[in-house]
Each structure stands twice: as C-alpha cells, then as structure tokens.
Amino acid sequence: MRKDVGGGERVRVGTGRNMKERQEKLLDMYFKDWKVFIDTCSLLKEAAPTFWERARPYILKYNNPVIVPERVLHELQKIYRNAAGVYDPVDVRNAERCLSEFLPRYQQENLLEFRGEPVDREGHADNVFITQFTRHRMTYNLLLITQDADLGADIRNLVNQRSVQRGKKIHVRRIDGGGNLFPQDGKKPHTKRTDSARAQTDGDRRPHGGHEHTAGQRPAPQRTDSRSSAMTTARKTVVTAIADDPLPAAHIPIEGEIVFRVQNGVPERIRLGKEIGKGGEGRIYETGTPYVAKIYARDCLTVRRREKIRRMLSCSISCAGICWPIAELSDKSGNFVGYLMPRAQGQSLQIAVFSPRRLQRFFPHWKKVDLVILCITILEKIKYLHDHDILIGDLNDQNILVVSATEVYFVDTDSYQIEGFPCPVGTPVYTAPEVQGQPFSSFLRTKGNEAFAIATLLFRIMLPGKTPYSQQGGNDLQENIARGDFSYPCGENSNRRAPDGPWRFIWSHLPRRAMKEPFYQTFRKGEAHYEECDRLDVNAWLANLREYKNLLTNGKYAEQDALSLEIFPNRYKHIEPNADAKSPQQTKTWGHSTPHTKSGAKQSKSPEKRPCRVCKSEVPVTQLDHGVCSLCRGEIYEWKQCRTCGSRFCITAAEHAFFVDKGLAQPENCRECREARKKERETWLTTPQQNTSSRTPVPQSDRAEESSSFETVAGIGIGLAIAYAVVHFLL
C-alpha cells in the first residue's frame, strides 16, 4: 500500500520482516544527498536513541550529520531547568540526558552538528525551520523530523506555494515507538509527553505547538550576509559533562622545587625558579628557559581543568605572542599541578595604553596610526584563534600585554573557550548584553558574544581607556550596556550625553565609515549591528582598521586636519570650507553648528599656546586651567593622610595648581573633613552667642587656613577704603 502525505512524498507503509529493509533504504536515501533537520520534541522521544543508532552508519557513510538548530538546544535547556514547573518530569529527565549524554556524544561522533540561525532570541524554533526550509528548498531536498503535526503541516504547505513549486522535495517524518521514521499524516501523534515541549508560554513555543504565522504564509526574509554567517558557523554548544571535581595533590610545588614535564613518554625535571607573578588561580615561576611554569592553587586543581589543558595541548596552536600551553606539569607522584607556556613581555593595555599620562610615558612618540596598527596586531591574533574554533571568552585589557604596536602577548590562555570547555570568567564591561549576569561556566559563548568584546576593546584603544557606555550624568555601566544606551553621536543621531573632556575631540576625528558607524551601530540598541548575530566579526574590523590606517598614511587625513594624526587632539575636527553641506558629519559636530568660512574672509588667528605644567605639551591657553591641560587635571599629584579622620586622600594636579596659584598651603585634611569644619564655622557665625567663652575652639591644624582667610578679607577691606578716599578726594 502507498500513502500520499503531501509534498509529492509517496511512501510504502507496512509491517513485518520487510520493515527493517524499508527503513534502511529510507535512511540511505535521506542521508545520501538530503539535508536532515530534527526538532525538539523528536529529540525528547523515548525511542530517539534507537533512531540515532540505526541512522549512524548512513550518516557516517555519506558524512551528512543531522542539523540541530541552536534554538532547539535553547528549548532543551529551558525544559531541563523547568523554572516554572510546567514540564512533564519525563521530558525534564530526557532533556537532561540529551544535554549531558546523547548530544555531546553524537556531536563528537559527527552524527549531528549545531547550527545557529539569525533569528530573534525570543522567537521559537518553528520559525527557524520555516525560514530555513523556505530559503534552501530550491537547492536541497529537505527532511524535517518532528512529532509536531502543526509544524509538519506548515512545512509541507511550502510545497503548495505557487511561487516555489519548482523547488526540491520536502518530507516531514516522525519517530515512532520503535525508533523508525514514519510519515506525518496531518493528525496529532499519539504521545502524551513529547507535546509538553510546546505546552509552555515562556516565549519558546506557544501551547501545543501553536504558531504566530498562518499556514502557507511566507515568513519574513532573514539576512544571510557574510557577517551573520560568521556569527553562526557550526560549533559545539553543549558544555562538557566532565565533572569539576578536585584532584588529589598532597603538595603544591613552590619556588626551588622540582616538577616534571612528560615529553615523548620521558619525564623531564624542571626546577621552579623565581616567582614572577601570582593571581587567584595560582603562581607563575621562571624555569631558566624561554618558558614559564604556571602552578595552580589547590582549589583550582580539578578534573575538568586537567582535561581542558590536555585538550589544548592536542591542538596545533603556534602563533607568536599567544602564550598557549606547551606541556603538562606534574609532581613527583604524577599528579597534575600546572602547565608550561611561553614567557610574555610588556605591560598590559590597562597600564600602558588606557591612561593618557602613562601612554605618553611608555610610548612618547606614538601617533594615532600606532594605535590603529596596535588594533590590527591584536585582531590578527584573535582571527588566528577564531580560525581554529577557539574563543577568548574573557577578552579584556588585562590579558593583552603590549611591547610595541606590532608586538603583543595574549596571556591567561587556559581560560579560553575550546570545544565544550567554557571560559568560566568574564569582565562586565566587555560582556555582551545578552549574557550579562549569567554564570559564565554554565554556557558556551558564541562568536557574536565575542564580537561585542572585540568592539569594546577597539573602542577603548581608539579613545584610550574610555568605555563605550560611559556618559554624562552616568548611570551604572552594566545598566547602560543592558539598555544599549550609547552616547557618542553618528551624524544627527545622538542622545546628547557623551562624556565631557577630550573624548569628544577624539571621537570627532575618527573616520565615519570605518569607525564611527560601526561603533554606533554595534553599541546603540536597534541599530544594524546591535544584535548578537549581526555584529561585525574580526574580519570586518580588520578591513575597517586597514582602511583607517590607509587614510592616516596616505596624507588624505593630514590634508583635512593635521590634528587627526594625533592621539589626543585638543579641538573638534576641522571642517573644510568647501565641504558638502549635505553631510551631517561635516555640517554639525556634537550638536553645534560649524559655520562655513566665506571665500576671501579672514581666518581667525590661532590661539596662543603654552605648555601644560604636568605633561609639558603645548596647549592653547583656552584649554588650560591654572596651567594644567584637560588630560592631566585628574592625575594624582600626591597622597596624604587626613589629620582628623586618618583616611588617605589624594590631591589632583588641578587642585595642586590651584593652591599654588592662590599662595595657599596644601590641605592637611580630606575634603569631607574640610567641608564638615566649614559647615561647623558657618553654623557658629549664624548662631547668636551669649557667652564668647563658649565658642568652639578652632583646631590647630585649621588656624593657618583661617589666618590666611582673615588676612585676605582684611586686605580687601583696606583696599576698598583707600579707593573710596581717592574717589572722594577727586570729587
């Protein structure tokens, strides 16, 4: 008997000893040249493992793994967590087995692959299948394995659309109780538990598999540009099931003791030399070689960490500047204690680049092009890692050391994300909004997550040390990240809350196409590159930075405004008199109109320049405050201990210059104590005093300040009296 199930699919249905033979022919046909997708409810089917075992030889024969969309994985995780308690306990158990046992094993055996899709994070997996089948049905024969009859009907209905009737074949099948593939007949499958994957209202699926589209309606087209593809390549999406249990270690080796490196099956003795660094995870020691040893602290020695290091050692990673593990280290009993890695040089970005004063001290001759070259150097190493399916995870300014614009070192590589081993740590300012606040060890980051960190790092190098989401009147940085509240403008687009100071000048000198637009569209909610799947990948940023470098080196930028070549310009970018008035970037800057100079009009005279007291840079006098430029005003001049409360307080360069110019001694009390005394004296002066002997005595430490104030007031009074007498005499 043959049965028509729609979409041109006619299959023989029957029972008996020929069933096995028919199933084998069916599997051979599907995995030979079809694209096979599987839905959440079929993965939860009790007989699903039987199906996988039967399909295994055909998947491997044709090297055609089953495609599991990441939204399906997300649904499985939701079912496993069962936060609202709406799922059947059997489904919760099956979801746990899928996540911890079946899916990792099938992925490792190349029976399946996870594919990310550029869809709304709040959407459900049904839309993923509709979108993908619509997109690819003209190219491939497509099979969907699902228990959901409604979804199956929608998929089969694609065949009946007049505009796509010339496409390839589309089949929909379900897994029966024996692990066989059977056609959907348009009726609800007789199962009690697999539908609970749909019977919830948290945004993944509507109850009982309902959909937000009508049958036959074509879904909205999805973008398929190269950036989205880069964000959604196949990768592991299930955290390893290897336990994070502690390892036995009777003794943690220290300086002067012996550890062992096993190479080619032969243990090699290594004596730990001088300790050169330490952190929460362990200590770094010299070894008398170009390599250093990282010895973990006792509570960091776990089975998962050891297995991760061994997995890293099995990778062929060899890139100058990436301090990748090269050997496992053990104690005399053979217990894992750490690893050997290349020695790094230089200072961290935080120390050497992210402070204007220190940047000038470490790299006094650097120009803007040097920062651009530094970004390119960093991006090339990130690209190398991404090309090897490795994510940094916790990309931040502390883990990149700088020697020069062309020589950098990536350290703390043992935290990198490789295969199913997540990066267990993160830095909030570099963490993408969609994963803010999540426990990093519980999930695997995506390239889209990492793209946010890359953009943040580049921004902080271009505007040394400044974070993208800092703003006037500033809310909490993490809150701004979560809201996508980016304040720097792009043309007419701005919330008018960009930070005061030199950052506005620096931003105005960035090229719009290569820098401003990508930054704005990445950090501002609702813009083209804000969503995880739409962010610029490392290749796109490399292209932008190389374009920027070309602008700086070919003389074009210098012709427009020579200050664009400087790291810290002291004014907005100069606008050419004949610039196109239609360009928002050229007619307005930061919301203030820039008047065009008429032909033949006299140019205004350049302001007088004087050296800053602190950095000695030549700065227009209008930018100086008591001889200190805007970049140096917040620099700490001196630390002191308050004579009153004993706390430490700092005197900034601007405060020091003010006291010197006024002829005042440096304060000996912190600002809070000075304000308290000021209020105390004001209260005493405004309160009627019955007995002068009961006045609050002035502390000895403040008498000099009061004396100075009294002399100033007295001097002013005498001066006014003399002036009055002279005027009276003349009249």
The predicted-structure confidence for 232-244, as pLDDT tens digits, reads as follows 443 556 899 898 8
Residue 196: the pLDDT is 39
SS3 call for 611: strand
**pLDDT surpassing 60 at residue 709:** no
Instruction: Please check the confidence at residue 385 and state whether its pLDDT lies above 90.
Output: yes
CA-to-CA dists, residue 471 to 477, 486, 506, 543, 668, angstroms = 9, 8, 15, 29, 33
* Cα 707 off chain centre by: 56
Q: Is the pLDDT of residue 312 over 70?
A: yes
The second-level CATH assignment, the architecture, of 258-342 is 2-Layer Sandwich (3.30)
Q: Is the pLDDT of residue 195 over 50?
A: no
Confidence band, pLDDT 50/70/90 cuts, at residue 143? very high
Model confidence band, residue 711 (pLDDT cutoffs 50, 70, 90): low
Interval 436-456 mean pLDDT? 94
How far apart (Å, rounded) are the C-alpha atoms in residues 452 and 524?
12
CB 468 within 8 Å of CB 524:
no
Architecture of the domain delimited by 362-565: Orthogonal Bundle (1.10)
Instruction: Measure the CA–CA gap between 75 and 126, rounded to whole angstroms.
Output: 11
Lowest mean pLDDT segment, chosen from 193-207, 320-334, 501-515: 193-207
pLDDT at 476 over 80: no
d(CA 589, CA 490): 9
Q: Looking at the chain, how many residues does it have? A: 731
At 252, the pLDDT band (50, 70, 90 cuts) reads very high
For the ranges 56-65, 174-183, 551-560, 698-707, the lowest mean pLDDT is seen at: 698-707
**Percent of the chain, pLDDT > 70?**
75
Q: Among the ranges 115-124, 391-400, 577-586, 676-685, which has the highest mean pLDDT value?
A: 391-400
Mean pLDDT highest for which of 229-233, 397-401, 703-707?
Answer: 397-401
Q: List Cα–Cα distances, 435 to 441, 523, 539, in angstroms.
A: 12, 15, 23
Largest CA distance in the chain: 131
pLDDT digits (tens, 9 = 90+) for 76-103: 888 888 766 778 888 888 888 898 888 9
339, pLDDT greater than 80: yes
Q: Which fold has domain 2-222?
A: Rossmann fold (3.40.50)
Average pLDDT over all residues of the chain: 79
- Domain limits, the chain: 2-222, 258-342, 362-565, 611-683
Query: Using 50, 70 and 90 to split pLDDT, how confident is the model at 159?
Result: confident
DSSP character string of 447-505: HHHHHHHHHHHHHHHHTTT--TT--TT---HHHHHHHT---S-BTTB--S-PPSSHHHH
Name the residue with higher pLDDT: 340 or 679.
Answer: 340
pLDDT of residue 325: 96
Listed in order, strand segments (DSSP E) in 9-98 are 10-12, 34-38, 66-69
Per-residue pLDDT band for 316 (boundaries 50, 70, 90) equals confident
Equal CATH topology for 258-342 and 362-565: no
CB 527 within 8 A of CB 520: yes
Share of the chain above pLDDT 90, in %: 42
Pick the more confident residue, 664 or 534: 534
Cα 398 to Cα 677: distance, rounded to the nearest angstrom: 42
Residue 686 has pLDDT above 90, yes or no: no
Confidence class for position 163, pLDDT limits 50, 70, 90: very low
Return the residue matching tokens 């770094």: 284
Which of 92-96, 181-185, 331-335 has the weakest average pLDDT?
181-185
Contact in structure between 252 and 337 (CB atoms under 8 Å)? yes
CA atoms within 13 A on the CB side of 123: 19
Is the whole model's pTM more than 0.75, yes or no?
no
Please report the pLDDT score of residue 443 as a whole number.
92
Q: Is the pLDDT of residue 691 over 80?
A: no
Q: Residues 609-640: pLDDT tens digits? A: 778 777 777 777 777 778 887 667 667 677 78
